[in-house]
Structure 1
Amino acid sequence: MPKLSVIIPCYYNEGNIPVTAQALIENEAGFPADVTFEYVMVDDGSGDNTMRELLRFRSQYPDKVQVVELVSNVGSYNAIAAGMTHATGDCMAIITADMQDPPELMVQMYEYWLKGFKLVIGNRQDREETGLQKWFAQLFHKIMKKVALSNIPDGGFDFVFFDRQVCDEVVRLKERNSNIFYLMVWLGFTYVNIPYVRRKREIGKSRWTLSKKIKLFIDSILSFSFFPIRLISILGMMLGGIAMVYGLYILIMKALGHINAAGWTTLMVVVLFVSAFQMVALGIIGEYVWRGLDAARQRPLYVVKNVHQ
């Protein structure tokens, strides 16, 4: 009897939980009768009535719902890591609490798992959202595919179905300041990609702010690519070459007597340009150093307040 654990990170989702819970229960009808279900709901330090709704869901289905309550908000990826640690299934799925991803797709994902695939990805072929949010998401994944992980699917993804082995490997790594979904691909298991259209959020307001998106972009780039460091090296060599050529030019002009005192503007432009490059380079190196320090301290990714099971 295979056991499927569905992991749902929740943050300010009090309006979504009743709808999501009903959809998940109804979705069980599409699976074979021998499959058992476990829903691991992780409250990521919500300040509304999300926890109340989660406990209500658990009271309705005490044998299959587990609620993990975190002390404070640690981010959706760390909340997912908490859910993976507490999940007990033979296979698992991660889905959002706002119903932007179709639960019925899990049935097809499960069929691929039965065929031996350790990882099944539901990637966003398109989005019902429009405007800047859609553009930012597309740009983010194009850059990541170009400079970090060339084998990730187009369009990005955060709806996955995976084997117990994948879960154990991700939990064992204890990666911080990273992208947990890209980490699954990085492990190297052959995966199946199922494209779908991501729905527009109907209930509540997304807490996925611009600052969080920028942090995710920086974390993903620095975790899976040496491109920023390599770029510094390339730019440094280019600037060094330009400086050498310019230095030879100055020496030649000086020897020919064409150098006068009117060089302040050029000097200031060069100094400001090189100084700006140095500051950017130090900032990128500092990001890597800080991540090394953060990993060396080995602070927990999250702190669990209560587990209701």
Structure 2
Amino acid sequence: MEKISIIIPIFNEEENIDHLVYEVGSFFQKETRFTTEIIFVNDGSTDDSLSRLKKAHHHSYTYKIISFSRNFGSHAALRAGIQKAQGDYITFIYADLQDPLTLVIQLYNEMKNKAVDITWAFRNSTAATKWEKFFSSAYASLMRKYAVSNFPKKGFDVVMFSTKIKACLDQNVESNSSIFIQILNLGFKQANIIYDKNERLLGTSKWTISKKIKLFIDSFVAFSFAPIRLVSVIGIIFFLLGILWTGYIIIRTIIFNDLAMGWPALLSILMIGFGITNISLGIIAEYLWRTLDASRKRPVFVIDEIVGEVTQEKSVQEYLSISNK
């Protein structure tokens, strides 16, 4: 029987843990076509998430709990889960359950029916705010135009892939990068399904504006040469404008001699010039910093502990014994 590994990153989700474990156990208790492995990755939570995960009554699936030494980010958590996954297919679900568990079945069916290595779950609708939708739409548009042409218009949070993809990801663990775009860029046979995202029932989203900005920068610097090309284009444009402006001043001075030179014009030119220079240097510095970071070969994540795997049969027996008390 095939096994599906489901990776669930956890960061300060203590309000959701009990509900999450109950829903996952209840859902996969009825599944007979495959066995389920759940890999909880505690991404340096500072609340009681890890303790609650350890005390929770897991059933109907095997599980591991991986705990980081500190917060490394959700993409690092997903990469750690992929490395430890033992399933024939691997997918992601999140602690808030905004992505319904039925997605796992839909993705699995699509993988089998289409005989592909990657299946995406594209968002049809979300419960996001107007600003969140604007950010997602702008991010997707820029990614399609300058980085990945097949990036979906409404984005994605969930994907299922085979062990072939796992092997590629394990061999190329990228820091400061998007694991989703890395998978999208691999070029293997892909399919997709459409789904509606649910509202968050408990807790608050940890997807802050600073994390969104970091993802935006990481995505472009890691997968596109557009920012560095922008530096060259800006330089060429200002060079041509400078030539035209110099020619205008010379001709105007020769014919009319009516141009008054003063510090306001000089100051404006200096401010614009230095501003463009600093922006350009900042973009170049992003690439240089990532090159330095990669050369150091520092770990993308550091695992503090792993709670040993519990067999499915044992978990079911424990659950039944607890339920009968």
Q: TM-score, normalised by structure 1?
A: 0.94
In structure 1, stretches of 5+ residues that fail to align are none
Q: Does 1:79 align with 2:91?
A: no
CA contact (8 A) 1:30 1:104 kept: no
Q: Secondary structure at the match of 1:16?
A: helix
Query: What do you get for the CA RMSD once the two structures are aligned?
Result: 1.7
CA distance in 1, matches of 2:53, 2:111: 28
CA distance in 2, matches of 1:289, 1:62: 48
CA distance in 2, matches of 1:193, 1:260: 64
Deviates more, 1:236-245 or 1:265-274: 265-274
CA contact (8 A) 1:129 1:199 kept: no
CA distance in 1, matches of 2:209, 2:291: 25
CA contact (8 A) 1:125 1:154 kept: no
1:282: how far off? 0.2
CA distance in 1, matches of 2:37, 2:20: 14
CA contact (8 A) 1:142 1:154 kept: yes
Q: How does 1:34-73 map to 2 (within 5 A)?
A: 34-57=33-56, 60-61=58-59, 64-73=62-71
Q: Deviations over 1:98-122 (max 9, x none)?
A: 1010110211110122232111111
Deviates more, 1:159-168 or 1:129-138: 129-138
CA distance in 2, matches of 1:188, 1:111: 21
Q: Does 1:274 align with 2:277?
A: no
Task: Rate the CA distance shift 1:151–1:13 in 2: closer, same or farther, 3 A.
Answer: same
105, 108, 125: which one pairs with 1:107? 105
Q: How does 1:246-261 map to 2 (within 5 A)?
A: 246-256=245-255, 258=257, 260-261=259-260
1:29: how far off? 5.3
Q: How does 1:207-226 map to 2 (within 5 A)?
A: 207-226=206-225
1:248: how far off? 1.2
Task: Rate the CA distance shift 1:304–1:62 in 2: closer, same or farther, 3 A.
Answer: farther
Q: Secondary structure at the match of 2:15?
A: coil
Q: Secondary structure at the match of 1:275?
A: helix
CA distance in 1, matches of 2:112, 2:93: 20
Calculate percent identity across the aligned residue pairs.
Answer: 35
Q: Match of 2:148?
A: 149
Q: How does 1:229-308 map to 2 (within 5 A)?
A: 229-256=228-255, 258=257, 260-308=259-307
Q: Does 1:181 align with 2:180?
A: yes
CA distance in 2, matches of 1:69, 1:61: 20
Q: Deviations over 1:169-196 (max 9, x none)?
A: 1121111101111110011122112111
Q: TM-score, normalised by structure 2?
A: 0.90
CA contact (8 A) 1:120 1:192 kept: yes
